[in-house]
């Protein structure tokens, strides 16, 4: 599975060979059900890779984690749709120990299914092999709307304990997307040896009024996050920014500041 996450999942978009032309209206949250890989040496279906993809009105974000070893990937960018064709403009992606900040454009043809949609990449080169990658997704979203709906980038983070404030200086790049009652976050950072690390998490969220949110993380590359709920205070900074504050058990507060991504 590492070959798929490291080489394929950075290209979560693709095209299929169906002649069926349908309206590729994509806003919503989707859970991947299966991934089928076919090549000269492989014809295998995988169901263990945990992956979610969210389309807002303008942005898309995906994240996945391979549970046995917690290797993860994510990507985010704008998209447009025209009949059965979706064009994704990825602005940032990362996988395990690598990241890509070079913008790239990809086209895919969506085949709608009874549960969600299917995408096929008919010919992808991975480590010298030509493979066909088929992925099927199930719609998991709700009709719930919230003030947090949209794609966001973290601009600042800090910790407060008593009168002391410590600003994070670790060079973390973090994105977060809320939509259809679901949330995805992904980040990268470089350690002291300049090695890149990737972390992701995704799950559901509910808001209590306009200033509190509960995130329930169903999947994450971080064991302290996976399977846990997080209650946070939210302060909206107009319509295009918010501050998220989490009260920690030791009395400290973890604060993250986000700004909305715009087309």
- If you write DSSP's letter for every residue of 22-80 in order, what string do you get? ------EEEEEEEEEEE-SS-EEEE--EEEEEEE-SSEEEEEEEETTTTEEEEEEEEEE
* Residue 260 confidence (pLDDT) above 70: yes
Q: Which residue has the tokens 């076919």?
A: 38
Least reliable range by pLDDT among 18-22, 166-170, 226-230: 18-22
8-state DSSP, 211:
S
Q: Does 172 score more than 90 pLDDT?
A: yes
Angle value at C-alpha 227, between 224 and 233, nearest 5 degrees: 75
The tokens describing 105, both together, are 């454009």
Characterise 251 by phi-psi region: left (phi > 0), alpha (psi -120 to 50), beta (else): left
Q: Residue 109 has what pLDDT?
A: 80
Confidence band of 1 (pLDDT split at 50, 70, 90): very low
How much is the pTM?
A: 0.87
Buried b (16+ CB within 10 A) or exposed e, 57-66: eebbbbbbbb
Q: What percent of the chain has pLDDT over 70?
A: 90
Per residue in 146-160, pLDDT (tens digit) is: 999 999 999 999 999
Q: Please say if the pLDDT value at position 33 is more than 70.
A: yes
- Tell me the CB-side half-sphere exposure of residue 41, using CA atoms within 13 A: 5
Across 98-192, the runs of DSSP E, i.e. the strands, are 98-100, 104-109, 111-112, 116-126, 129-139, 150-161, 164-167, 173-179, 182-190
Identify which has the larger pLDDT, 110 or 4. Answer: 110
3-state secondary structure of 158: strand
Specify the pLDDT at position 121. Answer: 74
Sign of CA dihedral 257, 168, 175, 101: positive
CATH code of domain 150-260: 2.40.128.490
Query: What is the pLDDT at residue 9?
Result: 45
69-123: pLDDT as tens digits: 789 999 999 999 988 888 889 999 999 999 999 998 877 888 999 999 998 777 7
As a CATH number, domain 2-139 is 2.40.128
What pLDDT, on a 0 to 100 scale, did the predictor assign at position 171? 84
Q: Do domains 2-139 and 150-260 have the same CATH topology?
A: yes
Q: Are 30 and 140 in contact (CB under 8 A)?
A: yes
| Contacts of 192 by beta carbon, 8 Å cutoff, 6+ apart | none
Q: So where are the chain's domains?
A: 2-139, 150-260
Rg (CA), the chain: 19
């Amino acid at each position: 599975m590492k070959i798929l996450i490291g080489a394929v999942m950075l290209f979560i978009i693709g095209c299929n060979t169906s002649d069926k032309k349908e309206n590729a209206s994509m806003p919503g949250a989707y859970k991947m059900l299966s991934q089928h890989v076919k090549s000269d040496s492989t014809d295998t279906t995988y169901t263990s890779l945990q992956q979610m993809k969210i389309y807002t009105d303008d942005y898309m974000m995906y994240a996945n984690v391979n549970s046995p070893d917690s290797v993860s990937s994510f990507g985010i960018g704008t998209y447009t749709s025209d009949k059965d064709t979706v064009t994704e403009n990825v602005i940032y992606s990362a996988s395990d120990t690598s990241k890509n900040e070079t913008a790239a454009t990809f086209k895919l043809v969506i085949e709608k299914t009874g549960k969600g949609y299917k995408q096929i990449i008919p010919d992808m080169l991975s480590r010298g092999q030509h493979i066909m990658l088929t992925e099927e997704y199930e719609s998991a979203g709700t009709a719930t709307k919230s003030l947090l709906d949209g794609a966001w980038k973290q601009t600042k983070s800090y910790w407060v304990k008593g009168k002391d404030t410590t600003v994070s200086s670790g060079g973390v790049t973090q994105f977060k997307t809320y939509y259809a009652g679901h949330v995805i976050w992904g980040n990268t950072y470089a350690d002291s040896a300049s090695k890149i690390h990737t972390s992701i998490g995704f799950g559901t969220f509910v808001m209590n009024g306009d200033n509190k949110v509960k995130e329930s993380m169903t999947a994450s590359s971080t064991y302290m996050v996976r399977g846990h709920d997080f209650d946070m205070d939210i302060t909206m900074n107009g319509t295009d920014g918010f501050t998220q504050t989490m009260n920690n058990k030791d009395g400290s507060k973890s604060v993250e500041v986000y700004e909305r991504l715009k087309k």
